[in-house]
Amino acid sequence: MIAVFRHVEVEDLGMWEDVLKEANVEFRYFDVSKEEFPDNIKEYSHLIVLGGPQSVNDLEKHSFIKKELLILEDFVKEDKPTLGVCLGAQMIAKVLGSRVYKGVREIGWIDVTLTRPALVDYLFSHFPKTLKVFQWHEETFDLPARCVRLASSKFVPNQAFRYGNNVYAIQFHLEVTPSMVAKWKEYYKDYLAQVDAAIPSFFPEGGYFPVSWEFFKRFLQLPRKEA
C-alpha cells in the first residue's frame, strides 16, 4: 500500500494514478492540510508527498506541516521508497537539513537538463538530456549534504536529487495532464493575475508522457520494505 500526502485537492497524482491502476498497486490519499494522517505509517511501503501552495517554512500558519515532516523523516531515515514533488521536494530538503527559501519564480513549461549522475540513475536513465516539464514554484532549496543532484534548470540549479537509494525529490510537476493544468489555471487564476503570470495553452508533445510514465513505474519498483 502506498501513502499519498495531498496538500490541496486539485493537486493529485494526475497521470500517475493510471500507472498505479495498471500495476494493481493500492494507494490512499491523505489530505494532510485537514489533519488527515495514517494511523500506522508502517503499513505503507512507499510515500509520495505532492505539491501545494503552502510553504514548508510556514509552521505557525500550517500546523500540520510539523507532523508531516516527522513522518517524512521516518521514511527517509529508513530509506523507504519516498518521492517528493514540488512542495514535497522542499520538505525532503528541509528534513535533510537544507535551507528552503524564496528563489526565482518558475511557472509554465520550462526545460530541465539532466546531470551526468542522472544518466546512470535508475529513475532518470531513460530521460532525454533535456526535457520540458511543468513548473509552478517560488521557493527553492540548497542541495542537502550527501545527496546527488539529478537535474537543473537555467535559473534553479536544484531541480531533482536523490538521497540514499530510494528517496527522490523533484521540484517540477511530472505528473500533470492537460486537463490538470487547465484545472490549476482556473483554481489559481487570482494568484496568476496577482503575479502577472500566464501559462501557455500548449502541452509538450513527443516523449513527455512515456518519460513520466516510466519514471513513476520505476519508482513503484523500488524495493518495498513492508512492516
- How far apart are alpha carbons 217 and 22 in whole angstroms? 10
| pLDDT of the residue at 99 | 97
2-27 residue pLDDT tens: 999 999 999 999 999 999 999 999 99
Residues 111/131, Cβ–Cβ less than 8 Å = yes
| pLDDT of the residue at 59 | 82
What is the domain partition of the chain in residue ranges? 2-220
Q: Which is it for strands 82-85 and 167-170: parallel, antiparallel or unpaired?
A: parallel
Residue by residue, pLDDT tens for the chain (227 residues) are 999 999 999 999 999 999 999 999 999 999 999 999 999 998 999 999 999 999 999 988 898 999 999 999 999 999 999 999 999 999 999 999 999 999 999 999 999 999 999 999 999 999 999 999 999 999 999 999 999 999 999 999 999 999 999 999 999 999 999 999 999 999 999 999 999 998 887 788 768 999 999 999 999 999 865 54
- How far apart are alpha carbons 123 and 215 in whole angstroms? 5
Q: Which letter, b or e, does each residue of 143-155 get, where b requires 16 or more Cβ atoms within 10 Å of its Cβ? A: ebeebebbbbbee
Residues 163/91, Cβ–Cβ less than 8 Å = no
The DSSP letter of residue 173 is B
Distances (CA, A) of 169 to 28, 60, 93, 179: 20, 24, 8, 24
- How far apart are alpha carbons 7 and 51 in whole angstroms? 7
| pLDDT of the residue at 203 | 81
Neighbours of 15 (CB within 10 A): 16
**Any idea which fold 2-220 has?**
Rossmann fold (3.40.50)
| pLDDT of the residue at 225 | 56
